[in-house]
Each structure stands twice: as C-alpha cells, then as structure tokens.
C-alpha cells in the first residue's frame, strides 16, 4: 500500500475557541488510497490521544505498524482499493500539525506552553479547512475512537451535511469528572519531571521519565482489570519464586516498564498536556438546550460502538448519543462489543469491530 | 473516649518470610476501651495502606479524627464501653512500628530501603506477638478492610483458634495483576521525586511531590467513576466559564490538589513502597492445594463485606473466600453494599456498614 503523507500550511488564520488566532497553521495528514474524480470516496479517520496520522502501513525508523493497520488497507474493512482514507494529525498533537513543538512565528522558537489551547472543535475546524484544500466537499464516512470519536461527534454537530455516515467508537458527548481527574494527574506526572522545564525542553533532554510515568498510569485504564488477569495473572518472570525485593519480578511489572519505555521518543510530552486539556473542555451540550439540538441537521446513518467493561466511556453514555440522534430522526445503531480489553479494544482487539465497520461502510 | 497509645519493643527476633530477622522490632498500637479481667473482650482492628493505628478519637497536631471514628467509640457499632479495640500499626508502616524510618541497629541511621520486605503474614506474626504481650489469648473479633482485610484473612488462616469471629471488608484472597500494575506505577511516582534520594531522605526534605502524585493517582481508584460525577461533575470553581488555560478550574481538579497536599506530611513515602510491595506478594493459595486448605481449622463465624462498583476488589473475589469457608463448614455471610463510593466506602461512607458490624459483633 502506498502511503501518502503531506503537511499543508494554511496562511489564513484559524480562529480558536479560546479567542486566539493561529496563523499560520499547519495540518499534517496521511492518505491511504486514491481520491476518485468525483471526490466522493474519502473516509476521514480521526486518531486518539496517543496515536497520530500514521493509521496504516509502517512508519518511523522502526517501521512501526499504524494503529489501525488491521482495519485500513487493500481488501481490509476500510478497503483502500475502494476508499481514500484521510487521517489528519490533530491540532496540538506531535505528528506535524501545529502544536507546542511548532515554531512560534513571533519568537522563532518552539511555542512550548505558549501554544494556545486548541479544543476538539478547533481541530475539527482545521480538518474542514484541510478537506476544502483537498477538494473533498462531502466524506463518504467519518470514524474515530475515543479522542477521535469526540472529533467525529463535533464533525456531526458542525458539518453534518459533509458526512455520508459516521462511526463513533468508545466516546461520550462530554468528558466526565473522573476523566478530568485522570488527565490532571497525568499532566502532573509530566510536569514533575525536572527535564520538563516549564515546557521549554526542545533544545535539551525531553521529560521522558514523566512521559513514561504518564504512559504507565494510562495503561491502568486503557486495559481493564480482567485483561490484566488474563495476560499476566501473578506470573513471575522466568518462573521465579518470590524474591522479596523491589526489582520487577512479575510479568505485569515488566509489561508496564515496556509501556513506559515505548512512550519515550514516540510522543511529545507537551502535546499530551494540550490534548488532555482539550478533552477537559469537551462538553457538546454546553450552551445548548439538548444533545439533539446540538446535532442540528445531521441525518446520516451512524454506528455507535462501545466496549463492555470500558472504564473510560461506558455504553450508557453512548446511549445518550443514540437517543439524541433517534430523536431527530437520524438512523442510528448502537453496538456493545464484548472484548475483554475494555477501552483500548478498538486499537488492540479489532476482530469484533472490523466486520461491523466493513458492512457499515459498504452499505 | 480515652485513647491509649503505646509502642512495645520486642527483643526476641521476628523471623520474616524473606528470610531476614528483625531484631529488635517495635509495634505501635492504639487501644480504645478497657480489656476485661478475662481478657476476652478484645477486638483487633487492622488498618489500610494509607491509614494507621489512629482508628478513632483525634490525633496529631490538627486533631484529625481517626479513620473509623464513625465506627469505634462509646455507644457506636464497635462499642468501646463493651469492647477493647486494639489497632496495631502494620510492620513497614509509618505509625511507629518497625519500618523504613526506624533506626537500623547496625548503622544507627534510618533503614530507608535497607529495611527488609515485611509481608502481610509478617505483620500478622508481629500482631500475634503483641497479643501475647497484652495477655489476649483469643480476640472476640477481628476486622479490617483492604490491606487490613488481607491481614484479617492471614489471621484466620494462621491463628484461626484465636479469633471468635471475623469481619473482612473489600478484600481478596490474592492480589491481582492490575493491583501489581497499580502499585508499580505508584512506587514509580514516589521514586521519580528527586527528594526521594534512594530512600535516604530522612535528614532532608521528604519526597512530598512524589507522595502527592501517588495519592492523587490512588484517588482515581479509591472512588469510583459515578462518585466523581456525583460529587464534582463538570462544575467549574466559583462558577467560572471555560478559561482555556492549564490553571485548575474544575472542582475535580481542586479536589485532587487537596488530596495531594493532604498526603504530604501525613504519610511516609518509603512506607508506601514497602506496604504496596507487601500486597504484591499477597497470595494466600501460593503453595496450597486450595483456599479451603489454607483456612485449616478456622471455624468461627465470618462476615464478608464488598462494595458495588469496587474497581479494586470485586465481590466475585470475595465469593471465592465465602465458598472456601463454606466448604470447611465455617459459618459465613457475604454482603455486597451498594455505596456509590466504591472501594473507599468502608472509610468514607460507613452508614451501610455500621449496623451490619454492630449486629455481627454483638451476636
């Protein structure tokens, strides 16, 4: 599969919800498959907090497979022989779109924490500009999970007429108090690293220890309890008996060490601060009468996918979206998949998701 | 209520599971109520990971109420006019029993990380020595939640003939892989603080930032998701609209800041390393045929209390204990209370627990 990647520089300012303008702003994206002459075979795929535009194929010096490589490709559920998959990097993220690592034109140095807060709606606004630039008036479909799901929901609310259908995975119409708390602690972990230096670490060692701690802590929530039991149980590394020391000796500990190491060098710590803060401000009903009211004139078919035992975004919250869409007459189907993986299943256990997705996209 | 506190120094060594001897060793304890002449009205109360022997009354310069002050006292469920409540500080903890802050007799300086790993069974052995010292052959009852519940279970297994009845709250017969992972991350958070200095911080500033981060992490699990919603929702402090900044502006954030501040000065960071590691090694069935086999000749009545939506120790795991006790003919009753607080309910929402406890103790 040919992977096309590009970064588009927009000179016209992007007006952000916080009141500041981003000018210029850049959006990096990956494209899998070709846009047809009518420009009507594009699928917009929106990535999660800890992933980027490299959704399929391999990328980076290690040839790491894309986060949805099981889903996107020739002959796969999101068939790139038929569809043109566009995956843009979110504003504030670390894949090349404007974010804290970008150069601040007023100083010529990286923004760091002087980058403005870009909300999920701001990312959606940037993506609409990208779609215009690419000549895509209307997407065949839009899809995303978690952070990507929030963006998909904002697309439905703000540009419903530009979407032929939508697949929203493990999402919610507004963040929760528990999410607010989780993100606050993850941000603290990053800022506790002396290398973070108020966010101005781009000319020195990055805060990899804080980033690793954040990734490890996050891993307690992306996978649910039962999955930890199934994968690791109380197994000792190399079959050792209790050593009565603080050295890692359980497989669950080794797994976490690996999670921490993998985060370093792959993610940008400041970006995680910005993206989690964007989620804190995500509340679609703020300033609206009802969630149905928010979805305005969106009437396209929607597939909502939850996972059993998802600690982060339970199916009940997805049901609120289903109800709101039903109330305005938009065709909606809600499915709760029973993957033991919980929240991260849409990334790590896609067997249940892919046939659903394939059928829905082709229908 | 008169609170009697004492620290007993034992000159005979305590042989630990790790193979090392602790000599001398000290056990600090609090006593509420008077031991009767027959010595048969004592109740052994075992504290959790982040609490200590100050279970009732007020203690410390701030006159902080004990963690079970709603439960223990004259006329309360654990009536100190009738019972003599003994609450010993666990080995490795920070309440005055031998732990990492104790002086290492071989160096005259605090042990720090040279303190041996003391398991839950080791704490129980120390408590049996304390009971001997106090002239208590058999306790009227034993009770504890979480870390205290693990100790109660080890008591039942190792000294079943010394217990008239037992109340085990939100516990499990063995730790879980998810627990292992959680504790590993909490320990990392402590060790990430430059003030931790390999555990040798007792002559300098303590690692309060790491300790605070640990306490905040923990708070995401002691309370369940629904409780966060009920207590905080997405409420802004002082009714502010979104500020689009990184300053705390949500009530959930302010709560966590408070949790972090409260941990500093109240807990000892090294102790949390030791106590969580003790839980890592907690597996009652290791080396045994079955859990029934573990409980040997214990036949006293037992009350097992779980909480709905307890992410840490679900009722299913408690049921394994109930089954094992039933199989050996020990009278057992399992109750699942429906407090929205989840795991921490036995500390913070005792309304459902106290009548159960009162009836069971007096029966």
Q: Pick from B25, B12, B73, B22: which is nearest to B45 by CA? A: B73
The predicted structure's pLDDT at residue B341: 74
Q: Tell me the mean pLDDT in the region A292-300.
A: 95
The predicted structure's pLDDT at residue A323: 97
Residues in A closer than 8 angstroms to B220, CB to CB, are 178, 181-182, 185
The predicted structure's pLDDT at residue B240: 73
Beta partners for residue A5, in sequence order: A30
Report the topology of domain B3-175+283-362. Answer: Rossmann fold (3.40.50)
pLDDT band for position A7 (cuts 50, 70, 90) = very high
DSSP secondary structure string for all residues of A232-286 = TTTPBGGGPPP--SSS--BHHHHHHHHHHHHHTTTS-HHHHHHHHHHHHT-BTTT
**Do residues A104 and A111 lie in contact, with contact meaning Cβ atoms separated by under 8 Å?**
yes
Interchain pair A180, B250: CB under 8 A: yes
The predicted structure's pLDDT at residue B190: 97
Which of B188, B251, B286 lies at the smallest CB-CB distance from A216?
B188
Residue A202 near chain B (CB below 8 Å): no
The predicted structure's pLDDT at residue A4: 93
CB pairs under 8 A between A and B: 153
pLDDT in tens, A302-359: 999 999 878 788 889 999 999 999 999 999 999 999 887 778 888 888 999 999 999 9
The predicted structure's pLDDT at residue B345: 86
Q: Chain A interface, mutation test: which of B15, B193, B234, most A Cβ atoms within 10 Å? A: B234
- Return the residue of A nearest to B243 by Cα: A18
- Return the residue of B nearest to A219 by Cα: B181
Domains A3-175+283-362 and A180-275 share a fold: no
Given the candidates 1.10.3720.10, 3.10.20.30, 3.40.640.10, 1.10.1740.110, the CATH classification of the domain at B180-275 is: 1.10.1740.110
Interchain pair A210, B192: CB under 8 A: yes
Which of A175, A192, A256 lies at the smallest CB-CB distance from B209?
A192
Interchain pair B119, A244: CB under 8 A: yes
Residues in B closer than 8 angstroms to A259, CB to CB, are none
Residue A205 near chain B (CB below 8 Å): no
**All residues at 6 or more sequence positions from A32 whose CB lies less than 8 Å from its CB, including other chains:** A1, A3, A4, A55, A56, A57, A72, A73, A80, A84, A85, A87
Measured between alpha carbons, how far apart are the two ends of chain A, in Å? 24
pLDDT in tens, B163-207: 999 999 999 999 999 999 999 999 999 999 999 999 999 999 999
Residues in B closer than 8 angstroms to A233, CB to CB, are 177
**All residues at 6 or more sequence positions from A294 whose CB lies less than 8 Å from its CB, including other chains:** A157, A173, A284, A285, A288, A324
Q: Is B60 helix (H, G, I), strand (E, B) or coil?
A: coil
| Least Cα separation, residue A82 to chain B (angstroms) | 41
The predicted structure's pLDDT at residue A343: 80
| Least Cα separation, residue A27 to chain B (angstroms) | 22
pLDDT band for position A300 (cuts 50, 70, 90) = very high
Interchain pair B252, A225: CB under 8 A: no
Each of the 363 residues of chain B gets a pLDDT tens digit; together they read: 788 999 999 999 999 999 999 999 999 999 999 999 999 999 999 999 999 999 999 887 778 899 999 999 999 999 999 999 999 999 999 999 999 999 999 999 999 999 999 999 999 999 999 999 999 999 999 999 999 999 999 999 999 999 999 999 999 999 999 999 999 999 999 999 999 999 999 999 999 999 999 999 999 988 888 889 999 988 888 777 899 999 999 999 999 999 999 998 889 999 999 999 999 999 999 989 999 999 999 999 999 999 987 878 888 999 999 999 999 999 999 999 988 777 888 888 899 999 999 999 998
- For A299, counting Cβ atoms within 10 Å of its Cβ (0-12 exposed, 13-18 middle, 19+ buried), the class is middle
Measured between alpha carbons, how far apart are the two ends of chain B, in Å? 24
Q: Give the strand pairing for B42-46 and B141-145.
A: parallel
Token output for B323: 């089954």
Interchain pair B175, A234: CB under 8 A: yes
**Do residues B117 and A244 lie in contact, with contact meaning Cβ atoms separated by under 8 Å?**
yes
ipTM of the complex: 0.90
- Return the residue of B nearest to A277 by Cα: B246
pLDDT in tens, A230-266: 999 888 877 778 999 999 999 999 999 999 999 988 8
**Do residues B199 and B223 lie in contact, with contact meaning Cβ atoms separated by under 8 Å?**
no
Query: Could you state, in order of their start, the residue ranges of all structural domains in chain A?
Result: 3-175+283-362, 180-275
* φ, ψ (nearest 5 deg) of residue B40: -120, 15
Interchain pair A244, B213: CB under 8 A: no
Residues in A closer than 8 angstroms to B216, CB to CB, are 181, 184-185, 188
């Amino acid at each position: 599969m040919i992977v096309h990647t590009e970064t588009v520089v927009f000179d016209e300012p992007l007006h952000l919800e916080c009141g500041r303008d981003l000018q210029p702003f850049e959006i990096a994206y990956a494209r899998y498959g070709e846009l047809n002459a009518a420009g009507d075979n594009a699928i917009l795929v929106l990535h999660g907090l800890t992933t980027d535009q490299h959704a399929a194929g391999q990328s980076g010096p290690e040839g790491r497979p894309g986060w949805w490589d099981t889903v996107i490709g020739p002959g796969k559920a999101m068939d790139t022989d038929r569809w043109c998959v566009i995956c843009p990097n979110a504003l504030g993220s670390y894949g090349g779109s404007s974010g804290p690592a970008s150069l601040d034109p007023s100083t010529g140095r990286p923004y760091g924490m002087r980058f403005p807060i870009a909300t999920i709606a701001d990312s959606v606004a940037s993506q609409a500009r990208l779609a215009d630039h690419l000549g895509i008036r209307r997407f065949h479909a839009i899809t995303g999970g978690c952070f990507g799901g929030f963006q998909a929901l904002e697309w439905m609310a703000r540009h419903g007429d530009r979407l032929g259908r939508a697949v929203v995975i493990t999402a919610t119409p507004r963040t929760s108090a528990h999410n607010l708390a989780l993100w606050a602690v993850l941000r603290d972990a990053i800022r506790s690293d002396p290398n973070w230096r108020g966010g101005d670490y781009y000319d020195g060692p990055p805060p990899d220890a804080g980033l690793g701690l954040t990734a490890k802590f996050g891993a307690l929530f992306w996978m649910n309890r039962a999955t930890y039991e199934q994968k690791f149980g109380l197994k000792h590394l190399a079959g050792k008996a209790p050593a009565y020391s603080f050295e890692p000796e359980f497989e669950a500990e080794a797994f976490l060490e690996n999670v921490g190491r993998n985060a370093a060098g792959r993610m940008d710590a400041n970006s995680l601060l910005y993206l989690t803060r964007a989620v804190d401000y995500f509340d679609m009903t703020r300033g609206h009468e009802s969630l149905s009211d928010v979805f305005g004139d969106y009437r396209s078919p929607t597939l909502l996918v939850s996972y059993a035992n998802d600690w982060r975004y339970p199916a009940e919250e997805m049901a609120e979206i289903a109800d709101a869409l039903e109330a305005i007459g938009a065709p909606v189907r809600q499915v709760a998949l029973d993957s033991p993986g919980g929240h991260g299943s849409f990334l790590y256990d896609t067997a249940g998701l892919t046939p659903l997705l394939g059928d829905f996209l082709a229908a």
